[in-house]
Structure 1
């Protein structure tokens, strides 16, 4: 009986963990989109300047600032270059979050920008979504976790079972 309750507890734990997956992916996507829009807004003035003088090439604008004799422009080159790099990173992350559900899940798990994922994780509030994808994730994780633990326990007990059966067979 205790074994059945442990199985149910394990299944419930897997279910609760699984329903968090789509919520976290959605929170990550929203965080990336908000940061991307903020980065675009921060670069807006520089993009206008790059359009007028460098055919829209922000790298050429940064190089122009760097090559300037004015120390203020040289100093600003680093700041603008950082803004451009951040905007490109956020654009790549946003593009990754526009792919199918399985690609988004793999990206958030393995390929997401670490600092962004940590920011989302630190502010993420656990919730139980009743959306179809959350239910599917929950059931999948619960079944997978229950199957893995059950398989590990069976594999660990296999050497002991073989000896008992062999002894019973010889008697």
Structure 2
């Protein structure tokens, strides 16, 4: 009876952990979208200048700033270049988060921006979503965790001989008669 309750607890734990995955992915996507919108707002004036004088090429605007004889304009070139680089990074992250759920998860595991990922983790609040993908993740994680713990327990038991009868003793008793 205790093993049955233990299985249920392990399954419930896996279920609760599994439903967090879609919530975290969604939070990361929302964080990227918010940073992207803010970045676009910061660059809007520079985009207008680049559109007017450089056919919309922000890198040409930065190169022009760097080549300027004015020291103040040259020092601002690094600031504008940083804003442009940040906007490009956020655009790439935003595009990666527009794919299918498995592509989003793979991106988070392998290629996500570490700063944004840490920021999302630091501000993440645990939640139980009742969206179909969250339910599927929860059930899958619950079953997988329960199965792995069961296999581990059976492996440990088999290794130490728990639950096995010793055939040699039974064989010896049969010959004593």
Distance 1:168 1:67, change over 3 A: farther
Q: CA deviation at 1:8?
A: 1.1
Question: Could you list the per-position Cα deviations for residues 71-116 of structure 1 after superposition, in whole angstroms to 9, with x for gaps in the alignment?
Answer: 1111101100110111011001100011001111121233211111
SS of residue in 1 equivalent to 2:125: coil
Partner of 1:158: 158
Distance 1:168 1:80, change over 3 A: farther
Partner of 1:131: 131
5+ residue gaps, structure 1: none
Distance 2:166 2:36 in 1: 64
Instruction: Give aligned pairs, total.
Output: 171
Deviates more, 1:149-158 or 1:6-15: 149-158
Distance 1:89 1:153 in 2: 46
SS of residue in 1 equivalent to 2:69: coil
**What TM-score do the two structures reach when normalised by structure 2?**
0.89
SS of residue in 2 equivalent to 1:27: helix
Q: CA deviation at 1:2?
A: 2.1
Partner of 2:17: 17
Partner of 2:62: 62
> Are residues 1:49 and 2:43 paired?
no
Partner of 2:39: 39
**What TM-score do the two structures reach when normalised by structure 1?**
0.92
Distance 1:168 1:110 in 2: 55
Distance 1:154 1:60, change over 3 A: same
